[in-house]
Structure 1
Amino acid sequence: MHTPAYLAGLLAKSDGETLYEHTWHVIERLVDHIRLRPDLPARAGSPRLWHRLFWACLLHDFGKAATGFQRVLQGGKRWSHRHEVGSLAFLPWLFSDPAQEDYRWIVAAIVSHHKDANVIRDLYKPGGNAVHDLTADIAAAPLDALWHWLDREARDWFDHLGLKDYGVEFPHLLPRDQAVTLICNRGAALIEQALKTYRRFVDDLQCPDPVAGSTFHNLATVTLALRGLIVNADHSASAHTGSLPTLSGLAAHDVIARLGWSPTALYAHQTVSAQTSGHAILVAPTGSGKTEAALLWALGASPPSPDEPGRPPARIFYMLPFQASMNAMYVRLDSLFPGLVGLQHSRAIQALYRIFIEDGDEPRFAAQRAGAQKHRSTLNYYPIRVLSPYQILKACYRLKGYEAMLSDLWNGAFILDEVHAYEPKRLALILTLARYLQQHYGARFFVMSATLPDLVKDALSKALGVYQEIRATSETFQAFQRHQIYVLDGDMHESHHVQRIAADAASGKSVLVCCNTVIRAQHMWQRLAQALGPDAHVVLIHSRLTSRDRTIREQIVQRACGITADRRQPIVLV
């Protein structure tokens, strides 16, 4: 979208990107979100959500036209005002009645897209000089050009993007002379009125919502979506991510085809998973295709949307408790859905770097790829996310960007793997989050485990409500019964037990030795390394390793005995 000549002098970024170009990219990313979740306004109980967001996105940076802001972008001195507050002066050109709900919500979306309400309150106190100083800079902007933008280009955008189909309306635009005069003569009053409306809006959020208990009709939830979506669109546009990839067109049969399987060769629990549309709990043995069953569930019988029956979920979130299993799952899913999978955990950038190095990338390019992919994940770019539940739990503590994170959870399919592996307090947090998301965000959950204690199952039942229990057949359990357990008396560190471990390793077996403290693990590793000699593969992993060393050692183990290892070899892992 090329900037018209009459707007070419208005910049949005110091790199030379024009205000027109940036605003177009923001609108493009908003439309990506609209097409991703077209039924969100109805489900959120806010039928005019897309209308309000479109106009908020279009006007959100008009305040950057202020002369002071333009000077900053061209290397001038610091400007002490907020451009988003300046943007409020232009709202009456299209929405002249402050009593209208559209005005109220658009004001909130514009003024909050960078700073929290308390910051705006402190900077622009009622009756202060700050608004008058800001208005002087706004009045000196090329107001004619901005008006022509709304009159000509914005109408073309509206038609080109088919926004009428999503409930967006084009309100009456004030005549040019009247619009320009209004800001020049009453700009400060217009901004004061908008800030007063915003303060009242924020105060209303502190009051109990009369319908807070009803699903999808919570004022706070809608407000989070409003701010989250405009922030998502703005940040993605600034990062130039391009169009958001989606799962559109993918279905269960695509998973089967990409795996190279035959539909008739599925296990019974996989077939049932593909036919299940609501919450589900799967209990099946290790190695019997639980991951594939989860993908078939996510892309299979998804609940029909009013707009598009059978559409895939907006996002798939694959949650695991351990970073090693997350890294392995990322590689596995990326091979099935290249370019659609993101990895999110505290050491994701190191893990991605190692994965790209293993793929043959040069170190510098691998570092750039890893950094770029991690950045895209923070922008909610990828439609399939491999992550820990704690990444989502951050939103509950209102950490920076939590609204954008929450807005990307709407209509998501959540796969909770290895649910038995969490300690009780953390599992309680995760299940409370699951209950909240399925009640307020239209989330579906697929929980799976090889072993599911009754206590955990009862807690899941309370969190999810109605769900389908899927269980592998007894024949499948029998076929995958790969382990026999013998309990030996004594301490593992006693000499005869150490000798037995060493003898098993020397005979060509792979041996896993689990100790309950780092020091005991270190001592055991030293004794086994001495007993087996320098040619033996004895690997030590514990929580005090650096991220780099841990990743290297995990890769050694995966190459030696991972399920996809080409050249398996005996190994001792302590």
Structure 2
Amino acid sequence: MGKKILAKSSEYGEETLIQHTQKALNVLKSLKEAYPEVLEICGDEKFYEYLFAAIFLHDFGKAAEGFQKMLKEAKPWGYRHEIISAGFISCLPYSEDVKKDIALAIITHHKDLYELQEGYSTLTPPGKDNYIKRLKELEKNISYLQFMLDKVPEWSKEFLGYEISLNQIKSIEEIEDAFCWAAKEYLNDYEDKKITNEKRKLFLRGFLTACDHLSSASQEEVVKAVSNMKEIFKFPVYRDTQLKAMSTKGSAVLIAPTGYGKTEASLLWSDNNQNEVKGKRIFYLLPYTASINAMYNRFKDTFGDDRVALLHGKAVYFLYKEFTKSGEDYFSAVTKAKTKYNLSQKIFKPYKVLTPFQILKHFFGVGGFEQHIGEMTGGLFILDEVHSYDPHTTALILESLKYLKEEYKVEVLIMSATLPKFLKELFMKELNIGCLIEPSKEELKKIARHKVSVIEGDVFSNIGKIIKDTKENKNVLVVCNTVGHAQKVYSELKEYTDKSALLHSRFILKDREKIEQNLDNVQLLVGTQAIEVSLDIDFDALYTEPAPIDALIQRFGRVNRKGYKGVSPVYIFSQGSEVDKNVYKNQQVVSKTLELLREWDILSEDLIQNLVDEVYKEGYVGKDYEEFIRAKESFRNVIKQLYPFIETKHLKEEFYELFDNREVVPYVFKEEYLEKVKNKEYFEATGYIVGISQRRYIALKKQNLIEDQDYNIGFAYCEYDKDLGLLIDKPYSNIFADDFQY
């Protein structure tokens, strides 16, 4: 066999090529068990055999002397081992098209074809000469690779389940120039749009990457879902919707009131739609970060930390803070948070709590899309509070699920407390869903938690009513439609109780965390739409600015949540603020909502669906409809441009354009932020960040209230108050805009 050949070397020790390959093949064995559906979906019953070959060969190029020297002496090599590794497809006893697919998977298991072509193409004389020079570095270690090739029958029996053999090589002259042979043709076919059998290609690259990454992270198998969900949710009596969900096969729509056990019902549904080995991945999608964090903690407590993953834009920061709470020092917490998040991004944990954008981004070619689309195969998607999205995002979600359902055999559960009839019918038609799960009318009639009153005027003309309830020690929730209004209302009310809080999107992360963690001790909470979805809070009375019926129902759900308080009052002001039209652009929907609610007193749950349907009986109209159709057609075009082994820059740019958000640091924290960055305490620095809309950012920039020329982030020259958040309309009083130059 010759001398020891390393695959990896770090402060934690060395790992030989044989050890790393065996670990990666262990992951293959686990994936093969978890994803039996892949054979049918990619249309090739020998797929896992091809994947075995790809994994077995993927790091052979690391036997080059220059690579070994890099590991042992930390000296740069200046070449890509994948280019050399792929040449060992000359050992494969398969057809040319299969060998090319395997070669491309090996070549691209770290970088995409276009990036490799720029620096490592063998199609030019200099590139060819460099390749031959690097290939010769294998000569001294060829006996090690020959020894490994002789192990194929034994290893295939162990990891694949049956025996295969690969051809032996006698010298490096037998090694193929795989980049020239496979990549050139593929790139030409890509340009001419002639690529075929994309699914086998996608799964080969995606699952090879997954096996390599997991084994490098010292994980040798994917975690399975819980064996019996009914043992976990062992209720004395199941609600009707839960019974229906746990016996439903295939996709469904579930509509039930807030606090009615929809989450448990959805998980019971997922259990009934698992494969035999519980290998299907469950994706639980929610619209807001706060609700995702809360659901992640709930799942973690229910299923155990090893089974639940968290994915959203600030997930690493959230995990970091969790570790600091348990006493970890900064660098230990950062290391553990990054490790945990990296595993969350891989095909590893079965339950993922995330935003739809974490799914959508892979269709725009972001972040190794082959692995992630491969992970979704046969997956079970639970979309909670699906009514919350604007027409554009709804269209993207709908089209992505339609594609996954048709092409990758996923199943979908659409959930909401307030799903308009037109949306319900749209999802059921487009996703070919025939099952509707909802409580019976008789059961809903029994549930009456709220007494509804539309009161004339705005929040300020009725501030006395709120003060009176507060003085009577009621737990009061006040919801405004804009951050600015919420700040003004809270300033008026906070003096009437020492247990008050304000919650909205313009707090720095550190302050928002503290507020959310202390909600159980709050008597008066003033908030915005941030409180609408999935926060586990329960108040005695609600005062809210006017909003569409579905938004109001969500707000109602934060009062008398379980129905144990009899009937609790919810008050809707007849007037909001002048800028509400920027939040709810279709003001006719808001007017129709108020008109209908004026007709009712006690709002039993059986009335709610009728009210929602009446308000939205026209469906998407005008600009909303145009935006919905435009987004659907645009997304279909995006999917057509998605090809394995290639990451398309303009698609990534399109994805990031979806977000109307800019991150800034209030000027008062500038020095603290920069000090944290200087000390490389980047996660602590993140705690000073607040998000504002792109429109706000541009407006502040025009007023010379954003400093961003010399920094990777903008500093906002606006007042900041720890109780009120960023005061966007108040320039920082201790500095003049002329004090810095652009």
Residue aligned with 1:482, SS: strand
Pick aligned residue for 1:318 from 284, 288, 306? 284
Alignment of 1:303-342 (within 5 A): 310-312=276-278, 314-338=280-304, 339-342=306-309
Alignment of 1:263-412 (within 5 A): 265-302=237-274, 310-312=276-278, 314-338=280-304, 339-355=306-322, 360-362=326-328, 364=330, 367-412=334-379
1:92 maps to what in 2?
90
Deviations 1:236-262 (A, max 9, x none): 111223422112x62xxx333223413
Q: 1:437 to 1:473 in 2, by over 3 A?
A: same
Q: 1:490 to 1:569 in 2, by over 3 A?
A: closer
Shift of 1:208: 5.2
- Name the amino acid aligned to 1:38: P
2:203 maps to what in 1?
225
Q: 1:172 to 1:68 in 2, by over 3 A?
A: closer
Deviations 1:39-98 (A, max 9, x none): 311222122221111111110110111111111112264222211111133221334x7x
- Name the amino acid aligned to 1:425: H
Shift of 1:354: 4.5
Partners of 2:312 and 2:443 in 1: CA distance: 33
Pick aligned residue for 2:56 from 58, 77, 88? 58
Alignment of 1:466-477 (within 5 A): 466-477=433-444
Alignment of 1:244-263 (within 5 A): 244-247=222-225, 250=227, 254-262=228-236
- Name the amino acid aligned to 2:115: V
Partners of 2:485 and 2:315 in 1: CA distance: 29
Residue aligned with 2:260, SS: coil
Q: 1:372 to 1:77 in 2, by over 3 A?
A: closer
- Does the CA contact (< 8 Å) of 2:476 and 2:540 recur in 1? no
Pick aligned residue for 2:115 from 112, 119, 125? 119
Partners of 1:81 and 1:368 in 2: CA distance: 29
- Does the CA contact (< 8 Å) of 1:508 and 1:570 recur in 2? no
Partners of 1:367 and 1:80 in 2: CA distance: 30
Alignment of 1:149-164 (within 5 A): 149-151=148-150, 153-164=151-162
Number of residues of Structure 1 aligned to a counterpart in Structure 2:
529
Partners of 1:542 and 1:117 in 2: CA distance: 44
Alignment of 1:32-47 (within 5 A): 32-47=30-45
1:136 aligned onto 2:133: yes
Q: 1:398 to 1:356 in 2, by over 3 A?
A: same
Deviations 1:489-512 (A, max 9, x none): 111122xx1111111112121211
Pick aligned residue for 2:214 from 236, 244, 267? 236
Partners of 1:322 and 1:445 in 2: CA distance: 20
Residue aligned with 2:167, SS: coil
Deviates more, 1:272-281 or 1:326-335: 326-335
- Does the CA contact (< 8 Å) of 1:557 and 1:571 recur in 2? no
Partners of 2:269 and 2:7 in 1: CA distance: 47
Ranges in structure 1 where 5+ consecutive residues have no aligned partner: 211-217
Shift of 1:342: 1.0
Ranges in structure 2 where 5+ consecutive residues have no aligned partner: 524-530, 544-557, 559-723, 725-742
- Does the CA contact (< 8 Å) of 1:410 and 1:441 recur in 2? yes
Q: 1:567 to 1:293 in 2, by over 3 A?
A: closer
- Name the amino acid aligned to 1:135: I
- Does the CA contact (< 8 Å) of 1:281 and 1:468 recur in 2? yes
Deviates more, 1:552-561 or 1:378-387: 552-561
Partners of 2:78 and 2:257 in 1: CA distance: 62
1:196 aligned onto 2:181: yes
Partners of 1:94 and 1:255 in 2: CA distance: 44
Partners of 2:189 and 2:49 in 1: CA distance: 22
1:215 maps to what in 2?
none
Partners of 1:370 and 1:354 in 2: CA distance: 9
Pick aligned residue for 2:411 from 437, 444, 459? 444
Deviations 1:475-499 (A, max 9, x none): 33234331222111111122xx111
Partners of 1:417 and 1:467 in 2: CA distance: 18
Partners of 2:245 and 2:327 in 1: CA distance: 38
Partners of 1:221 and 1:162 in 2: CA distance: 21
2:106 maps to what in 1?
110
- Does the CA contact (< 8 Å) of 2:152 and 2:164 recur in 1? no
Shift of 1:466: 3.1
Partners of 1:224 and 1:9 in 2: CA distance: 30
Shift of 1:341: 0.8
Partners of 2:205 and 2:407 in 1: CA distance: 16
Partners of 1:566 and 1:432 in 2: CA distance: 33
Shift of 1:142: 1.2
Partners of 1:39 and 1:285 in 2: CA distance: 35
Partners of 1:76 and 1:255 in 2: CA distance: 49
1:483 maps to what in 2?
450
Q: 1:110 to 1:541 in 2, by over 3 A?
A: same
Residue aligned with 2:170, SS: helix
- Does the CA contact (< 8 Å) of 1:109 and 1:227 recur in 2? yes
Residue aligned with 1:12, SS: strand
Quick check: which one's strand share is greater? 2
Residue aligned with 2:15, SS: coil
- Does the CA contact (< 8 Å) of 2:384 and 2:416 recur in 1? yes
RMSD: 2.9
Shift of 1:130: 2.8
- Does the CA contact (< 8 Å) of 2:483 and 2:505 recur in 1? yes
- Does the CA contact (< 8 Å) of 1:558 and 1:565 recur in 2? no
Deviations 1:85-129 (A, max 9, x none): 11133221334x7x5232122111111111211123332242423
Q: 1:480 to 1:205 in 2, by over 3 A?
A: farther
Pick aligned residue for 2:380 from 410, 413, 417? 413
Pick aligned residue for 1:510 from 446, 454, 475? 475
- Does the CA contact (< 8 Å) of 1:521 and 1:540 recur in 2? yes
